[in-house]
Structure 1
Amino acid sequence: MDVLVVGAGDVGRWFADLADAPVAFADVDESRAEAAAAAHDGRARAVPLDTEESFGVVAVAVPMGAAVAAVEAHAASAEQAVVDFTGEMVAPLTAMAEHAPARERVSFHPLFAPEHAPGRVAVSESAPGPATGHVREWLEAAGNDLVDVGASEHDDAMVTIQGRAHAAVLAFALAAEDVPDELATPVYEDLAALADRVTGGNARVYADIQAAFGGADDVAAAARRLADADREAFEEVYEDAGR
């Protein structure tokens, strides 16, 4: 069973590394697909984005905003299964059902950046089967823990887990000023470390998350509630935050 990885970025390369099968990369940037293939020690090759070849599994690993279009464009190349590693689940699975109704269909979301692998991987199975079972086995063999979840439940949770969390950390980073290290408190050090981790990533990824799940408006409203509260109201807000 061979695999077409659509998207030769970090996530696509991460999945190709753990796939126990021949891999082909396709990417809007052909040179990136070629570089990804070359990095896999002869176990992978690059194919044109409009390839007419067929593959056992088509794995979509593109930014969230491009996921549906990528499924639409490449689902027909799948002989057995279409899967995605985009971070959103409802939209890609809906596109898979429309464009690959007779194929196995599963959405995977690594809950970590590839450089922090292994970790937890959320899994939503729309139409599982033997081929997607192999994908699960590859992920587990690489040390990942699989967490089965409904697609809507996943996307709803990501509003808080990613959208609001990232917005809160970025808001702190924007509001913070330089301070002497020797005056730092544990809470400040934890927030500063989170800010360094988030701002050391890829801005496009975080922009995609905000576009898909939102969160910044909710954080802004909460901050405004804090800012507008007098002492008595602040205590109520504080208690609400602890619930």
Structure 2
Amino acid sequence: MDVLIVGAGSMGTWFGDVVDARVSFADLDRDAAAAAADSIGGAVADLKSETTYDVVCLAVPMTHVADAIAEQADRAERAIVDVSGVMEPAIAAMERHGPDLERVSLHPLFAPDRAPGSIAVVRNRSGPVTDDLLASLESRGNALLETTAIEHDEAMESVQAAAHAAVLSFALAAESVPAGFETPIYQGLRRLTEQVTGGTPRVYADIQEAFDGADAVADAAAEIAAADADELESLYREAAAGWQEQRGEGRDSDTGGDTE
């Protein structure tokens, strides 16, 4: 199987390494394509060419995936897939530009250096080629999470957009404290802050552009800031009940636990 990966960043390189195929990389930055190819024993391909492949995988930023699919779909003979992280626009573009192709959208729910892990999967039009690709991913220890494009993108509003907005808001709002004053919660948030701010800013910006969620965090923070003691206690109980319901626990939230 011949696979063209458009996008030679960390996620494209990860995908090329885990699939059982002959892999070529194409990228606006030809040096990046060469580096990715060297790292896994692949080849370099031209970004604009009439050369076709069994599979074309788009590993581009999520804000560009629909355009990339439109530009590259004709180079796929049997299947087109993406690992961009946003599914509704990707699937819509695949259906429009590759109606006769097998079509699968993938979102690895981890950074490549933390693989293997869970991979969200939408099989829009499955077949033997994409089944083989998915089997390759499973054989490397990844767990496939079957979903729909709508379910995935709605989940990312909380999992990514809201979560990142909350952590970045803390990072911007928190003041430096003297050594020894840290609490477990503060230390946990500091670790998350270091993790998020140690990433690639454009990736986080693309997530905020692609998914709603930050506004809800801002609204909740404003509500907390304006609440009196009774209102804040009510908000606390509302939050605790909501999380218990998500976990399926249904326990009484008034169990102490107000110390760190």
What TM-score bracket applies, with the shorter chain setting the length?
Answer: over 0.9
Quote the residue 1:153 is aligned against: 151
Letter in 2 for 1:60: L
What secondary structure, in the 3-state scheme, does the structure 2 residue paired with 1:182 have? coil
Q: Deviations over 1:7-51 (max 9, x none)?
A: 0000000001111111010111122111211222xx311111102
Structure 1: gaps spanning 5 or more residues:
none
Which runs of 4 or more aligned residues in structure 1 lie more than 3 Å from their structure 2 counterparts after TM superposition?
A: none
Structure 2: gaps spanning 5 or more residues:
243-260
Quote the residue 1:238 is aligned against: 236
Letter in 2 for 1:103: L
Quote the residue 2:71 is aligned against: 73
* C-alpha distance in structure 2 between counterparts of 1:16 and 1:178, whole Å: 42
Shift of 1:151: 0.7
Shift of 1:216: 1.7
What secondary structure, in the 3-state scheme, does the structure 1 residue paired with 2:180 have? helix
**Residue correspondences, number:** 241
Equivalent residue runs for 1:16-165 within 5 Å: 16-40=16-40, 43-165=41-163
Letter in 2 for 1:124: V
Letter in 2 for 1:99: H
Letter in 2 for 1:34: A
Shift of 1:183: 2.0
Larger radius of gyration: 2
What secondary structure, in the 3-state scheme, does the structure 2 residue paired with 1:15 have? helix
Q: Deviations over 1:83-120 (max 9, x none)?
A: 00000011101100000000000000000111111110
Shift of 1:131: 0.6
Quote the residue 1:225 is aligned against: 223
1:188–1:212 CA distance, 2 compared to 1 (3 A): same
The root-mean-square deviation of aligned C-alpha atoms, in Å, is: 0.9
TM-score normalised by length of structure 1? 0.97
